Structure formats: C-alpha cells, structure tokens
Copies of this chain bind each other. A is one copy, B any other.
Amino acid sequence: MKYKVKCSIWIEGDEGAFIGPGRIDLLENIRIEGSISKAAKAMKMSYRQAWELVDSMNKQSKNPLVVKTSGGAGGGGTLLTDEGIKMIKLFKKLQENFQKFNEDQSKKWLP
C-alpha cells in the first residue's frame, strides 16, 4: 500500500468563499480573453455565473481584481488589475506550499 495525502485549498473572506481553484481559472481566462463573456464561454459557464463570481471577488477585495475598460481601439473590454495578477500568483504560491506540506505529511504518517 502506498498512500498519499491530498488537499484542496481555498481562501475565505468576509462573505465566505473569496478565491479557489475555479475562481483562479476564471481570472486566468479573463486575462487571456479580455472579456468576462468570452472567459465564461471558454469555461462552459453562464455569463451570469461568471459575473457573480467576479462581483464576489471584487466586493471582498480592498481593490478590485477585475475592471471594465471603455473606449480605445478595441472598444473596451475587461482587464485584470495588478491586484488580480497578484492574487493568482499568491494562490499558486499557497498551492505549492500545501503541496510540499502534503508530501511531507504523507512521508511522515502514511505507510
């Protein structure tokens, strides 16, 4: 028998869920697509659901993670802020730390 500890992490804020793997996927898709509706489509999620997730993240953050831009050559779109990019990096860093802790705990406690 070779067992392994696995874990799934998320960050809670004032309203409960703030950031988790699905929300990070959404932020990354918004960054790539430059639009909430295109990001939602790429993830097979409704626009409404994607918008509600973005709204929940923005409301629980000191500065918004996602902003709408208007005008310009492309006629505006949706952008990740520096705070949004920072949040993706932070979450991935936390996932790495937990991954290391997992391996450590598996070796220490499991047959």
Contact = CB atoms under 8 A, between A and B. Distances in A.
Interface of A: 1-14, 18, 60-62, 90, 93-94, 97-98, 101, 105, 109-111
A46 B98 CA distance: 34
A41 to B, nearest CB: 29
**A contacts with B: majority SS:** mixed
Contact of A13 (B3, B7, B98): B3
A110 B11 contact: yes
A61 B9 CA distance: 27
Contact of A12 (B6, B93, B94, B111): B6
20 contacts: A1-B13, A1-B14, A1-B62, A2-B13, A3-B11, A3-B12, A4-B12, A5-B11, A6-B11, A6-B12, A7-B98, A11-B110, A62-B111, A90-B110, A93-B109, A94-B105, A97-B105, A98-B101, A98-B105, A101-B101
